[in-house]
Amino acid sequence: MKILVTGAAGFVPSHLVDLLLSQGHDVWGVDNFITGNPKNIEHLKNNSNFRFECFDVSSAIPSFYNSDLPTVESWEFKVKFDRIYHMASPASPIDYVELPFETLNAGSKATEVCLNRCVEDGARFLLASTSEVYGDPIVHPQVESYWGNVNPIGPRSVYDEAKRYAEALTMAYQRYKNVDTRIVRIFNTYGPRMRPNDGRVMPAFINQAINKQPLTIFGSGQQTRSFCYVSDLVRGINLLMESSVNTPCNIGNPHELTMLELADYINKFTHNEAGFVFKALPQDDPTQRKPDITLAKNRLNWEPSVSFEEGVLKTVEWFRELENN
């Protein structure tokens, strides 16, 4: 198939591109590199089945942070796509503060651009949504039918509400414009190619640990997250795209850890004896996060296969290599 992946140089999307290419598809990638890393797709530069363009999908005029990027009007791939994976968006706590408008636009304008292309091409569309649509949940674990507990004007709202809007837009195109759509709600993911300083807990802990620094724990450390290794995640995303499930679907690992448990594990795993330091919990930081993956198990025949220990080993190895290069 001919497949478009937005945000192709990002952490998760670059792994998805690798998977799609391994299946024999022709893949087109786009990214404006505000959070994506060219090194994530550097290994594909001689792959004849991969084509890449650098521009901002979400803006109809040249981007204010890079006026050299072409406009959407010049986005004229001479191909009819079979699948469009809309994966582009800033997606870390630091990004919400530094790139609020870009985050909002990735969920709104860019989603509409991609959906309109699906109307033109007759392509199937997948939206990369997030567990953040559940906010600070009062239902645990989180099921797809839960509507969430989100602060619509808090500092995280630029991401939460952008994704909630993107989901509403996607369903509107499904209902009223007959676009064949999929929505994946991605839970915490980790693995090689994460940005070292993006503010997410796994790269933060690993970087501090391999540099023999105390790990920074926010709040009491009793808040929980569930971590899915990136290869499991992209396999689930791909299975969802090729399934008949046209309502939101959680993809994540139900293995739940408190931040204290995670910090203790990372310290022991890396032989870091520097311990922890505690800081105030950021506003609207969710107290618990765990996916209910019953839908994915029953309809996609998917569940995580990479153990936490194996995933952490691979991730730590990657960050050590990054430190040494």
Q: 62 pLDDT band (50/70/90 cuts)?
A: very low
AA identity, residue 204: A
Residue 76's pLDDT band (cuts 50, 70, 90): low
Q: Which stretches does DSSP call E strand in the chain?
A: 2-6, 26-31, 50-54, 83-86, 124-130, 181-186, 189-190, 215-218, 224-226, 228-229, 249-251, 256-258, 276-279
What is the DSSP code string of 149-180?
B--TTSTTHHHHHHHHHHHHHHHHHHHHS---
Asked if 146 is an active-site residue, the reply is no
pLDDT at position 75 is: 55
More confident residue, 26 or 72: 26
- Measuring CA to CA, which residue among 95, 87, 189, 96 is closest to residue 128? 87
Fold observed for domain 2-190+228-254+291-306:
Rossmann fold (3.40.50)
- In the chain, the largest separation of any two C-alpha atoms, in whole Å, equals 58
Contacts of 137 (CB under 8 A, 6+ apart): 146, 148, 149, 286, 288, 289
Asked if the model's pLDDT at residue 283 lies above 90, the reply is: no
Q: Which of 159, 173, 190, 229 is catalytic?
A: 159
Cis before 13? omega within 30:
no
The tokens 């369903």 sit on which residue?
Answer: 171
- What residues does CATH 3.40.50.720 cover in the chain? 2-190+228-254+291-306
Spatial separation of the C-alpha atoms in residues 5 and 44, rounded to whole Å: 14
pLDDT band for position 63 (50/70/90)? very low
For the ranges 85-99, 121-135, 272-286, the lowest mean pLDDT is seen at 272-286
Give me the CATH code for the 201-222+256-289+310-324 domain, please: 3.90.25.10
Mean pLDDT of the chain: 92
Q: For residue range 119-170, list pLDDT tens digits in order.
A: 999 999 999 999 999 999 999 999 999 999 999 999 899 999 999 999 999 9
C-beta separation of 49 from 26 below 8 A: yes
Locate 117 and state its tokens: 């292309």
The DSSP code for 39 is G
Region(s) of the chain under CATH 3.90.25.10: 201-222+256-289+310-324
Phi/psi for 155 (5° steps) reads: -65, -25
Does residue 290 contact residue 226 with C-beta atoms inside 8 Å? yes
Whether residue 59 has pLDDT greater than 80: no
Neighbours of 212 (CB within 10 A): 12
